[in-house]
Structure 1
């Protein structure tokens, strides 16, 4: 292990790592600030209740980052690793269907209680799909079959449809949308011909239409009052400001109150019982209220830098596996950020998607940290390969 670090340390992507760590620490501070009132007055806990829990989550996240960083990314195309990833992902998604629960009456039975901690398998599916699709198409590329449509797409698309089906049963439409875009990003980076990519998109659309047809058949259980209320709140939150539009309206008040400079760290008014669970997917509203435009700029710049770095790694990588993993992780963070900020600002309907590295929650930050560790390993190997090629020239 010592020899491994000594050999590769000079290629480590320090800007990527420090941006990731600073975002996590900034999120920890804002979780403490935003959750104090909610912890005391709603849950009857100490003011630092959510802060301490997230601190434990971040310690575990650093461990998973290290694991992702140590394992050479090329191991993910091993057949045994591919089978393990798919098996674990499908097992957990099926388990949710039978023994999953819905936290806080959210309407989506998407969590598993594992005793020591709770797990959201749809988050694991995001990373699992990136690694599986990247490994699968890398193998097809090595055998020259990446553009043979029947041999290239049936297995991964079949697995993907099964994953979407079980997530739709929860149901978690936000996760379905995110997963679809992530998978398309990985395939777009595979190097396949545009014609083949177009056929794959057509196959995906057909599969998703089949999933939605099943949902329509069971529409009474899917189109619940809560979900229809969220759609109405998106169209006009002030029309139903005391019910389904309540969270969005108070989020707008928080953003508007902060202005450019903000009210000051810890000085938010909306977190004092007006904005429900402000430490979760609406934490950016509290950041805006307390730190103003500057606070939002710090968060979005940090996340934007990670996405930029990921795509830059993908562009530089000559190894298709490295390219697809980097593109997948970058698109995951970028799209999830857009969905969170878009829901908060009213651009798209609310989906309850957390803001990467900032929102409270163990599953999200731990799995994103694992993805960042894998990305750091990819970056290191790409930089080493580039350095060796320059020396040869």
Structure 2
């Protein structure tokens, strides 16, 4: 039995994840070494060491989730804890939250910044997958089947938006939409849900207006100015995007060489987080970019393939949720780096600096690998049974 279980794991998926994480470590060191010395007056490997410690912790969490039976998460008490815990933690941010970059999105614990919004992404995936799995027999019923999870989604999206963190709020909303689209409910119910979500947003609009000065501050609105015409505002709102273009354009086909970026010398803000792909393009050229995109695409497509093969609704929806989270986050990050959409401050999965993001991503991938193992195990068992009966 153990041999069959070990044989059932998707090692190509595990390899792709850790290749990206290893590559990310190298690029975090390369892109942050100058900033560590000049801005924080510390060792050049300061951010590298912090990311490495986060990766080690995240790897342990990955292994736990990889071997943990995913259907055990369907426990009703655990799902209620996810529901109330997510809302409570986001609420506590407004009292005890640490402000950075104009957003009150972090808790400071033992010198480390923890971003609850990242963990809420995973909570939303598990909660929505579990609820819609339990409601499969009456998912066509709008009041009992389709409605309750939307209330949770709207609440957490509004709470995250009020921090304000519009990028994470958008990603959570899109993850929820992906799971809802694959949950099995009819088009009629989906249209009702969209209208209801808009109605809830209208009800909560006084709360949003109360924080309007933060959400729609001059600094945040300037991102749209910089996005629409960055070169017209290259000394202000368009500064980061213009330097991202310079980094991408300088790299060409093969890049300037690993560690040879010019833009990381104080020209490109947040080079190790939001704009790490610009440094990848500058140092390693289009080949470096294609390496990252190929691995990310492989992970997303593999996740969707697992969702398609899985006969269990809970496992299918988890695979859809994890895949959509990585795909949407990648699209939002690259859209900001290339100027296709306004800059949102969203990191590139597995590659950008950020302990909370890396931990959540590897827990999510451990969960996806676990779903994949059960799918492959059932297939192997079925084939062995068919052979034995011949």
Match of 2:106 in 1: 111
Q: Report what 2:80 is aligned to.
A: 83
Structure-1 separation of matches of 2:282 and 2:294? 18
Match of 2:29 among 20, 23, 32: 32
* Most deviating of 67-76 and 28-37: 67-76
CA distance in 1, matches of 2:179, 2:379: 22
1:184 to 158, 177, 181: 177
8 Å CA contact retained: 1:31, 1:283: yes
Shift in Å, 1:297: 0.2
Alignment counterpart, residue 138 of structure 1, candidates 130, 133, 153: 133
Aligned: 1:307 with 2:296 = no
2: CA distance between counterparts of 1:172 and 1:119? 14
Q: CA deviation at 1:217?
A: 5.3
2:40 is the counterpart of 1:43? yes
Partner of 2:142: 149
Q: Distance in 2 between matches of 1:56 and 1:221?
A: 33
Task: State the Cα distance separating 1:349 from its structure 2 match.
Answer: 0.5
Is structure 2 residue 267 aligned with structure 1 residue 270? no
Residue in 2 aligned with 1:223?
216
Aligned to 2:93: 96
When structure 1 is superposed on structure 2, of 320-329 and 221-230 the one drifting more is 221-230
The structure 1 residue matched to 2:318, chosen from 311, 316, 325, is: 325
Residue by residue over 1:102-139, the C-alpha shift from the partner in whole angstroms, topping out at 9 and shown as x without a partner, is 22xx1111111122532111111110000000000111
- Checking the alignment, whether the CA contact within 8 Å between 1:191 and 1:320 is kept in structure 2 is no
Match of 1:365 among 358, 362, 385: 358
Contact 1:357 1:368 in 2 (8 A): yes
Judge conservation of contact 2:146–2:185 (CA < 8 Å) in 1.
no
TM-score of the pair, normalised by structure 1:
0.95
* 1:11-42 deviation digits (Å, cap 9, x = unpaired): 00101000000000000001111111110011
**Matched residue SS, 2:174:** helix
Distance 1:271 1:31, change over 3 A: same
Residue segments in structure 2 that go unaligned for 5+ positions in a row: none
Q: What is the deviation of 1:160?
A: 1.7
1:165 is aligned to 158
Are the counterparts in 1 of residues 271 and 279 from structure 2 also a CA contact under 8 Å? yes
Q: What 5-or-longer segments of structure 1 have no aligned partner?
A: none
Q: How many residues align?
A: 386
259-268 vs 111-120, which moves further: 111-120
Describe the SS at the equivalent of 1:111.
Answer: strand
C-alpha deviation, 1:88, in angstroms: 2.6
The secondary structure found in structure 2 opposite 1:102 is strand
What is the CA RMSD across the aligned residues, in angstroms? Answer: 1.5
The worse-fitting range, judged by mean Cα deviation, of 189-198 and 122-131 is 189-198
